[in-house]
């Protein structure tokens, strides 16, 4: 617990210890069971020191969660941007279907409850994730594969949004089928495409294209 040699450069040590302890606690007992005192006890960092590094509990959690999450879902690169996007989106949502999703939901809840944590969530979770996919969406946009006006920010929010909503409220299924449906809806829209030629059939061929 008390290393001897390099004593003063503690700031970084304490910082790391807190994040590590927080990660451990949140996997073990869930975010709701996390308390500053438990983090302090687990990390060996005193509560006072913790409060010198972060403004509130949710900020710690946001940073810890963001650090852990560094690319849990790989970005494929097959050269077929649309396929890659579909794969990535499906993988991403599927990943948050697991217990990781519950953590994510509780992290978001903490952010909403403690507004001071928002910047931490932004910096340590959202931005890194978005930066990773941004070039991807950019390339897709350049290739004319995305709708006009679609950028990484909007895309992420629309893609994750429905899942977030369901995770938060606990309603709605998160079965693989549902996840695929949500991804499909987000990527291709809720409404039928405006018929290019108004003379087509009422129901149209996309039925085949979309159904699972």
Which residues make up the interface to DNA (CB under 7 A)? 1-2, 4, 6-11, 13-15, 33-37, 40, 44-49, 51-53, 56-57, 114
Answer for the pair 59, 101: CB distance below 8 angstroms, yes or no. no
- The span of 18-26, 48-56, 66-74, 75-83 binding a copy of itself (CB under 8 A) equals 75-83
Binder among 91, 100, 134, 184 for a copy of itself (CB under 8 A): 184
| From the list DNA, a copy of itself, none, partner contacted by residue 1 (C-beta under 5 to 8 A by kind) | DNA
Please say which residue, 114 or 123, places its beta carbon nearer to DNA: 114
- The span of 4-12, 39-47, 68-76, 115-123 binding a copy of itself (CB under 8 A) equals 115-123
Please give the structure tokens belonging to residue 204. 């149209």
Min separation Cβ 91 and DNA, Å: 33
- Contacts of 70 by beta carbon, 8 Å cutoff, 6+ apart: 128
Min separation Cβ 118 and DNA, Å: 14
- The span of 3-11, 36-44, 65-73, 200-208 binding a copy of itself (CB under 8 A) equals 200-208
| From the list a copy of itself, DNA, none, partner contacted by residue 147 (C-beta under 5 to 8 A by kind) | a copy of itself
Binder among 113, 132, 176, 197 for a copy of itself (CB under 8 A): 113
Query: Nearest CA to 60 among 18, 101, 8, 3?
Result: 18
Q: With both helix axes pointing from N to C terminus, report the angle between 81-95 and 127-142 in degrees, rounded to the nearest 10.
A: 160
Min separation Cβ 14 and DNA, Å: 4
Binder among 11, 131, 138, 172 for a copy of itself (CB under 8 A): 172
- Contacts of 135 by beta carbon, 8 Å cutoff, 6+ apart: none
For residue 144, give the H/E element and its range. none
Sign of CA dihedral 61, 67, 72, 74: positive
Distance CA 17, CA 95 (A): 27
Answer for the pair 188, 99: CB distance below 8 angstroms, yes or no. no
First-to-last C-alpha distance (Å) of the chain:
54
Min separation Cβ 121 and DNA, Å: 16
Tell whether residue 209 is a contact of a copy of itself (CB under 8 A).
yes
């Amino acid at each position: 617990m008390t290393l001897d040699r390099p004593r003063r450069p503690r700031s970084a040590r304490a910082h790391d210890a807190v994040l590590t302890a927080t990660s451990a606690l949140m996997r073990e007992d869930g975010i709701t069971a996390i308390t500053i005192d438990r983090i302090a006890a687990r990390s060996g960092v005193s509560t006072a020191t913790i409060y010198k590094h972060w403004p509130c509990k949710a900020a710690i959690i946001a940073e810890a969660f963001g650090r852990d999450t560094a690319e849990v879902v790989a970005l494929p690169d097959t050269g077929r941007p649309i396929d890659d996007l579909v794969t990535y989106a499906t993988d991403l949502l599927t990943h948050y279907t697991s217990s990781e999703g519950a953590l994510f939901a509780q992290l978001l809840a903490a952010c909403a409850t403690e507004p001071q944590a928002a910047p931490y969530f932004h910096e340590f979770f959202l931005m890194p994730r978005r930066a990773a996919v941004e070039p991807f969406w950019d390339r897709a946009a350049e290739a004319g594969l995305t709708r006009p006006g679609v950028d990484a920010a909007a895309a992420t929010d629309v893609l994750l949004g429905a899942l977030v909503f369901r995770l938060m409220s606990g309603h709605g299924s998160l079965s693989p089928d549902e996840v695929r449906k949500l991804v499909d809806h987000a990527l291709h829209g809720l409404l039928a495409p405006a018929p290019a030629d108004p003379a087509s059939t009422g129901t149209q061929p996309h039925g085949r294209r979309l159904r699972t």
